[in-house]
Structures are given as C-alpha cells and as structure tokens.
Amino acid sequence: MSFLRRRKPLPPSDGDESDHDDNDKGKKPSSSSGSPSKEPTKRTKAKWSCVDSCCWLVGCVCSAWWLLLFLYNAMPASFPQYVTEAITGPLPDPPGVKLQKEGLRVKHPVVFVPGIVTGGLELWEGHHCAEGLFRKRLWGGTFGDVYKRPLCWVEHMSLDNETGLDKPGIRVRPVTGLVAADYFVPGYFVWAVLIANLARIGYEEKTMYMAAYDWRLSFQNTEVRDQTLSRIKSNIELMVATNGGNRVVVIPHSMGVLYFLHFMKWVEAPPPMGGGGGPDWCEKHIKAVMNIGGPFLGVPKAVAGLFSSEAKDVAVARAIAPDVLDSDFLGLQTLRHLMRMTRTWDSTMSMIPKGGDTIWGNLDWSPEDGIECKAKKHKANDTGVSKDSNGGNIEVQPEPINYGRLVSFGKDVAEAPSSEIEQIEFRDAVKGNNIAHSNTSCREIWTEYHELGWGGIKAVADYKVYTASSVVDLLHFVAPRMMQRGNVHFSYGIADNLDDPKYQHYKYWSNPLETKLPNAPDMEIFSMYGVGIPTERAYVYKLAPQAECYIPFRIDTSAEGGEENSCLKGGVYLADGDETVPVLSAGYMCAKGWRGKTRFNPAGSKTYVREYSHSPPSTLLEGRGTQSGAHVDIMGNFALIEDVIRIAAGATGEEIGGDQVYSDIFKWSEKIKLKL
C-alpha cells in the first residue's frame, strides 16, 4: 500500500487541466502526501556554463596525465630504447660501455667544477617567510618555492649589496657531493651522463669529486666565507695520495673554468691571500685541465644581463608578451626583481668581456670580420670557401658586421660608418631627475636606475655605441654600487708586465690576460666547446617607455637584417659558438694565447683545442641529443665524453688526436695583435 500511495500520479488530460486551472489559482501546493505538488510537463534543458567547460577540460587533462603516467611506469624499461631503435636504427654503445670493452679502467681521479647556476643551493637559516625550508633547495631541484613565495625566494637568493656576502639572518649554502650538480632539475642532466659513463670503467665516489661552491659569490669570497678553495685543495691532495700518486684530471664547465683558473693561482700563492701550496703544487697534483665551454675572455651575454636583465630569449619573450615580464600584477615586477637579485651576485661580473678592443674589436674592426651566418654543418678544419659546379672557388661576400660594437642604440648606429657617428660623452654626465621619486614600490625593487635619473639615461643613449672597453665604463655609470664591489674582485684588462707585483693580487687571477699559468710543463690544458650554433655577440638597444618602474633600456627586437641568413636577428648580432660562449672567447687562449711558451704560459704547458660540431637530435626520442654542441647539452655529447674518459684513463692530448677544429678560430686568433 505504501508503494501505491507514493506512486506518481498520471498527468491530467487537457480537459481536466482546464477545469482545475481556475480552482488552483492562488493556492499553495500542499505538503501532505495525499496532495502532491504539481510538476511542469516539460523540463528546461540545463545550460553549459564556462565553469562546466573548465572542469571538463581539467578532468580530461588529469585523466590523460594519469593514464600516461600509469603506462610509463608499467612499460618495460627497454621500451623507449626499442621504439627509438625501430625509428632511427640501432643506437651506438654509450662511451663508457665502448671504452670498457676496449679495456680502459680507472686511473686518474676526476674533479668536476660546475659553472654558474648549475649547482644546487640550500637554506640553512632564513627569515620567518622561509619557515619549514631548512636544508631545502632554493636553487635547483623543483623550484617549488619560487611559485609559492616568490618575493621571499628573491630575498633569500639575494646577497648583501654592500659586502657581497650573506644578508643578516640568512644563510644559503651549496649542496655537497655529486648530487650538487648531476641534475639541474629532475630530468635535466648536467653532469649525470658523464658521471654514469665514468662509472662504467670503474669510477665511484672515492675517485670522483664535485667541487661544489656558492656560484653567486666572488671567487675569493668563497674562501672567505666557506673555505671552499681550501676544501678543493685538501680533497685533491687526498685523492692523489689514495690513488697511488696518480694526478687528478680536472673538468671545469662554463664559469667553473674561470673559478678553477683562480684556484690554480690561489693554491700557489702564499697565505693569507693564497693557499700556500708553493709554485710546483699544480705540477705535482694535476695531470690535465679539460675546460668545457669556458668563457675565458668573457661573454657579451653578461653585458646584456647586467645592463637590462635580458638576453636574446628574454627579449623575444618580452616582445611577444610585454605585460608578463613588465607588469606589476600582484606586485611581481618580474624583470626588476631579477635585476635586483642578480646584481648582488658578484660572480656575474667575472664574465664581462676581457681584453677590451684588442680582443673584441672596435668601431671598425673585429676578429670575426667576414663571417658567414648561413647555417651549415661544419666539417673538420673547414675553411669556409664555397665551390662552384666545376670545383672552382667562389669568393663569398658576406654582409659587413660590426661585431666590435657590443652595444648600439639603434640599427642605423650599428651599421653606420664610424665617421658618421656623433658620440656625446656620458662619463661625466650629471645624474638627476629621479624616475622613482614618488613611487615607494619602485624604490623597494629598483637597483640603481632611479639614482641615474632621466638625465643619466639620456646621456647613455646619446653616446650611441659601446665597444668592449667603453662597456665597462657604461656598467660603472649605470650600476656604480655593483661595479664598486666588482672592482675589488675582478679585472678586465691586458697586463703590460706580468712581473709587476700588483698582478699578485687575487682580482687578476681569473683573467687569463693578466696572470700566468702555473709552472707545470707536464700539465695539459684543453679547451673543449661546441660550434655551429648562432651565439650572441653584440646588441641593438632602444630606450624603453618612460615609466617610473620600468628598466629604461631594452633590446630592440624589431631590428632585423635585410637577408634571410643575416647575422642580425631580433636585435642581436649572432656569431659562431655554443649558444652562450662565442668561439673567440672559448678558443683564443688555447689556440694562441697559451700556445707554446708565451708570457702567459712561461712553462710551456701543452694546449689543445677540441671543438664539437653541433648536430641537433633527429627525433624527440633522442632527448637532447648525443652530438649536441650546446653550452649545457654538450655534457651529454658522446664524442666529448669519450675524450674525457680516455684522458682520465691515462691517454695524452696527442693520443686522442690533438686539435680538432671546425671553426676559423686559428684565423681569427692571428688577427688579434696581442704581445705574446
């Protein structure tokens, strides 16, 4: 009976409906079971809202993600390799496996010296906003705290603007061990591939050492604060003593090349400035220094970074979506915070171009004059001469490029004859008319441009063009506080007399043009780097819109060359290199400056140039490629890894083939008129 009582009544007929309409008007529906409420005969179809669409999309993405994750974990470990080989054919053995089959085994201990930004940093003491982050990575790893608390992260990653050391109440320290720089972030290797291949022939933790250091600090300050240089010295001595007296093979990468150059002078120098190892320490303890992607003479990219906190990629992103990097959304003035933070990192000043106009060129000349920017696959010792159909030579007439003009305000200035450029001196210009006088938020994030004022900004633009010599003065003008600290630790000139006692100061030790190599005739020095990738060499700038919180200078991404293969792309003049370091900087010292007995290499240590022609991966399954010449990806280059393993196993530079050159580095080196 209860079922019958709850049964839904049949809808009334048309006649019944009309009869009841008048009686039901104004009556409220009864709540009793005997008088059910009247329902409409037709249901209105629900509308699909934007929220529904978003939820549906998120659900589909999450479902697909979990499905892919499940399949990835369920598939056999060899499946990706099976698919790759099915498409590209059998893969070659990794260098470690290949050389293990040849019978190579552990001989010389190996020391890795990471470069800038690739080493992990962890928090040991912080402010209240960093609660719960003790010994968590602030740099490297997942970068999760950048998104959760970005301003707190910037505060803890910045150094004191006066001392170049820790801010009060903050201690950020380098991660130690091989894990310090094996991967930059999960899945993005730095040293991991090289470590794994060395392990194939028997290397392990006791024969490998990661010389981790706080790459934000000036080189000498890593010793002042953390005694890092002393730790490197002690570890090398221990490794030599516990491995039968076999000297170490040191493998620095990127800025680590300059850091280890500083170390080799520090370890010989007497205390308190040096390590007190004596003039023969390097000869006794180091077999070879295999420099990878070394910015020996600096990089133009450092100028753009310090001047406007951008390089080619950032400038392009800014042009595409200017509101993202320049907006004040949620108080996150992205590039201004980046400038404030990076200008406290003294290490960045170590990579300002060295050697001035003698090395990098002037308004009318540069060593790379005549370079072709047409993309091509390099061949060994390529001369760059084209052939016609009959095999005869064709004279190539590339577009003229003024690489010596590192910074030009306007494309017309970059291309104009020097006689037509009217430069108005900026060095003594009066600064004033502060651009941040009324905006307190600007003062919180700005570095030194608010002190420069529009008068100083206009003076910078009116000078029009800067070479390697004047760009140092430019940085002194726009960032005097930063450069005042930098002057204590770094120098960018060329020594007239290396026997002058002033060159015993540590500020000269990382400049190969102002210091001598150690007295180590049996120590070999390699310069190993990629070629065949367009690399930043000079910039076209413009004034930014006059806004209080904006960085007043930016790369003019609208400046393009007139030809398809022009060297000018998006306001940046490109030359040959590894995407970060031009060939000129990476190769000159080993190609000429240190070649044979020179005043920079009085002991005559043997030097070798080993170039690796870039070949991008043919498919996505290859990852970053095994023939890459890119600045970081080259660490997974099979040819480079094989060279490193052979030297570590006891071979000499001559035994692995001596020089391997694809670029015109020897021709360019001959154009540089430097007293040797």
At 432, list the tokens: 């004033």
- Give yes or no for a contact between 105 and 201, defined as CB atoms under 8 angstroms apart: yes
**Which of 346, 578, 643, 664 is the catalytic position?**
578
Could you tell me how many helices (H) and strands (E) the chain has, helices first? 25, 19
Q: Of 495, 554, 493, 536, nearest to 631 (Cα)?
A: 536
Q: Per-residue DSSP letters for 272-297? A: TTS----TTHHHHHEEEEEEES--TT
Count of other CB atoms within 10 angstroms of residue 154:
16
State how far Cα 205 lies from the chain centre: 27
d(CA 292, CA 290): 6
What single-letter DSSP state applies at residue 506?
Answer: G
d(CA 108, CA 420): 59
> 304: Cβ–Cβ under 8 A, 6 or more apart, which residues?
310, 311, 536, 539, 555
d(CA 491, CA 355): 10
> 61: Cβ–Cβ under 8 A, 6 or more apart, which residues?
none
Coil, helix or strand at residue 676:
coil
The question of whether 631 is a catalytic residue gets the answer: yes
At 438, list the tokens: 């009324």
**Residue 506 amino acid letter:** Y
Q: Per-residue DSSP letters for 19-81? A: HHHHHHTTPPPP-STTSPPP--SSPPPPP--HHHHHHHHHHHHHHHHHHHHHHHHHS-TTHHH
d(CA 629, CA 378): 12
d(CA 304, CA 671): 26
d(CA 552, CA 151): 22
Print burial letters for 601-626: b (CB count within 10 Å at least 16), e (below 16): bebebbbbbbbbbbbeeeeeebbbbb
The question of whether 578 is a catalytic residue gets the answer: yes
- Give yes or no for a contact between 326 and 338, defined as CB atoms under 8 angstroms apart: no
- Burial class from Cβ neighbours inside 10 Å (0-12, 13-18, 19+) for residue 142 reads exposed
**Which of 156, 262, 378, 631 is the catalytic position?**
631
Lookup result for tokens 């003479």: 297
- Give yes or no for a contact between 325 and 549, defined as CB atoms under 8 angstroms apart: no
Gap between the terminal Cα atoms of the chain: 113
CA dist list (Å): 568 to 363, 372, 415 = 17, 12, 11
d(CA 486, CA 163): 11
**Which of 254, 366, 527, 663 is the catalytic position?**
254
- Give yes or no for a contact between 298 and 352, defined as CB atoms under 8 angstroms apart: yes
The question of whether 253 is a catalytic residue gets the answer: no
Task: Tally the C-alpha atoms within 13 A of residue 342's C-alpha that lie toward its C-beta.
Answer: 20
Catalytic residues: 254, 578, 631
